[in-house]
Chain A
Amino acid sequence: MPLKVIEKRDVEPLIRHLMERFQVVGIKKKDGKNTYGVIESPAELRLDSCATITSPKKYFFPQRETLLQFAVDGSWEPQAVVEAQPRIIFGMRPCDIAATWMLDMAFSEVNADANYLEKRKRALIIGVDCKEPCDEYCFCKSMGTLEVETGYDLFFTAADDTYIVRTGTPEGEALLGEWGKAREALYEDRVKLRAVQREKDERFKEALEFDVEELPRFLEDSYRSLLWDVLGEKCLSCGSCNLVCPTCYCFNVLDEVKLNLSEGERYRVWDSCQLEGFAKVATGENFRERRGDRVRHRFFRKGKYMKEMFGRFGCVGCGRCTRACLVHINPIEVYNQLKGGE
């Protein structure tokens, strides 16, 4: 795929151009913190900001999403509802691009989930490279998500007054083609890109004291560790870690009936395996009643189960869960503790 170059001053016109055809979403400021939102004017977009509260997954898997419309008495066939619109996510970070790969796997294997996939397929992803770690909580380098080779349509890396743009798909290339202001990269641009990447790599430190491929084994050996009890005593079971996680995709399904009591909709909402009732059945049996067991389940999902299911870790090292945790449960510390000072 060709390498292109865009002058930084041309980014605003590019966004304006894209806004004509797409809903453009990207990182905006909210009360001094960053969140993904719909870009109303190009100046709002913060390509240099990162560490958003939640991940851009909400554009493929919204917090609340209608699945079905029905008649309460079943007098007409229930109608499936799939909502999707053309959209560009501008400025997705490598960790979130890696997380999107995970969600793509989860929602397409065995029973393809149209509600996710339609939104996903109608979106174009323009990635933006990180320059330095968000803060002390991110550990993407250790999780192998500091660099992504695929999963984007375009990928921007800032270099001096330009963005050097990797094209990941023909759609991405076409997007730049019809805009017409991106130039082909020259030899100097390639040299510059490599230099920027090298500098970037140096700024990111390894947070884990071991090769992450060892993680499933450390987890397995620690299944009965008292560490989970200790974490369980701290854990508030507030669900924040799951809700801000870019790879969590568990949900609950509920019915809501209109005031006429004759029609309604079925919708799904984000759920969290840390919440008390997550594994509780109608008879009252709770299959993961202990807080510590729920904490363990989260770490096992991220570090072992998803790896076994999809071949990659469920944790991309974005650090969002740590930032959101009031009791400082930090996967870097947990993973290093599991290693047990070997």
Chain B
Amino acid sequence: MKPKIAVFEFSSCEGCQLMFANLEAEILEVLGAVEIVNFREIMTEKGDDYQIAFVEGAITQESEIERLKKIREQAKVLVALGACAHLGGVNCMKNYQDQEEVRRYVYKERAEWFDTIPARPLSAVVPVDYAVPGCPIDKKELLEVTKSLLLGKKPSLPDYPVCVECKMAENICVFDKGMTCLGPVTRAGCATICPTFGNKCEGCRGLVDNPNVNSHKQVLQEHGLSVQGILNSFRMFEGYLEVAK
């Protein structure tokens, strides 16, 4: 029997689901091995009988907590899809602002209708088995994780920083271009897409297991970032983590 897959979203831009939907050619082959029973972005049917749940988005409302717990109860495997689900992502920037102000700013005159709680990753609410990190996710990595799950292999994320992929790609170091970069402490696996196309690494995939944050912060300082500047760079995606506080 083909494993049944469902895709859900919480607070997010739904861009990671879009990456999933955009697998196009590959999705047909994937569909040969799995059955998608619930995926709002591409289908109208809604099945609640699934084994693998891919969940996008951060948790920012009380009601989302209950919904996520239900998904966790049903799913044998829960995979966080993208930076918001995996880390809290950009949603956590609001945690550093006045919650009431943020609420009014976002929901305007309807603010009373919606509650808001500090943003958090899925793992702050329920146990998460695996993650496909990134903002947005990398299609190839999503396929690798899916294949691994189907083969009974524990999907493993690289535990080395983006620098490794930059060196293999022979990119000019972002620091040598006069910018600062979170690559030295950020988990690789994105084929260093941002530095390859002239940007810096913003850390959307989260930190490696044991980053040398102190030394990296000194590097950032040496390249002109103030203490606040350093915190701000980590708060873009790592706002939920200690490193940004």
Asked if A and B form a direct contact in the complex, defined as CB atoms under 8 angstroms apart, the reply is yes
Q: How far is the CA of A32 from the CA of B170 in the complex (A)?
A: 12
Measured as residues with beta carbon below 8 angstroms from the partner, the interface class of chain A is: 35 or more
User: In this complex, what residue of A is CB-closest to B148?
Assistant: A257
**Structural contact, A275 and B160, CB atoms closer than 8 A:** yes
Contact A54 B184 (CB under 8 A): no
Interface pair B151/A261, CB less than 8 Å apart: yes
Known: A53-B167, A272-B164, A327-B219. A259 touches B159 (CB 8 A): no
Per-residue CB contact flags for chain A residues 267-290 toward chain B (1 = under 8 Å, else 0) read: 001101001110000000000000
Binds B, one of A18-26, A85-93, A232-240, A308-316: A232-240
Does B53 sit at the interface, judged by CB under 8 A?
Answer: no
B161 lies within 8 A of chain A by Cβ = yes
Interface residue ranges of A98-123 to B (CB < 8 Å): none
> Are the CB atoms of B29 and A259 closer together than 8 Å?
yes
Known: A235-B215, A236-B215. A257 touches B168 (CB 8 A): no
> Are B215's CB and A239's CB within 8 A?
no
| A140 at the binding interface (Cβ < 8 Å) | no
Q: Does A164 contact B (CB under 8 A)?
A: no
Binary contact track B25-44/A, C-beta < 8 Å → 1, others 0: 01001101100000000000
- Chain A stretch 60-100: residues in CB contact (< 8 A) with chain B: 63-64, 72
Q: Does B150 make an interface contact (CB < 8 A)?
A: yes
Task: Give the B interface residue count (CB, 8 A).
Answer: 36
Q: Which of A64, A238, A256 has the most CB of B within 10 A?
A: A238
CB < 8 Å neighbour of B163 from A72, A239, A260: A239
Among the stretches B84-92, B130-138, B204-212, the one at the interface with A is B204-212
Interface of A is mostly: loop
CB contacts (< 8 Å) of A277 on chain B: these are 159-160
Q: When chains A and B are docked, how far (Å) is the Cα of A300 from the Cα of B208?
A: 26
Q: Write the residues of chain A forming the contact surface with B, with a CB cutoff of 8 angstroms.
A: 30-33, 35, 53-54, 63-64, 72, 233-240, 243-244, 256-257, 259-261, 269-270, 272, 275-277, 291, 324, 326-327
CB pairs A–B below 8 angstroms (28 shown): A30-B172, A31-B172, A32-B172, A33-B176, A35-B170, A54-B167, A233-B214, A233-B215, A237-B161, A239-B160, A239-B161, A239-B164, A240-B164, A244-B167, A259-B26, A260-B29, A261-B33, A261-B147, A261-B151, A270-B168, A272-B160, A276-B159, A276-B209, A324-B167, A326-B175, A326-B219, A327-B218, A327-B219
Known: A33-B172, A236-B216. 13 other contacts (CB 8 A): A53-B167, A54-B167, A54-B168, A235-B215, A238-B163, A238-B184, A239-B164, A239-B167, A240-B163, A259-B30, A260-B32, A291-B212, A324-B167
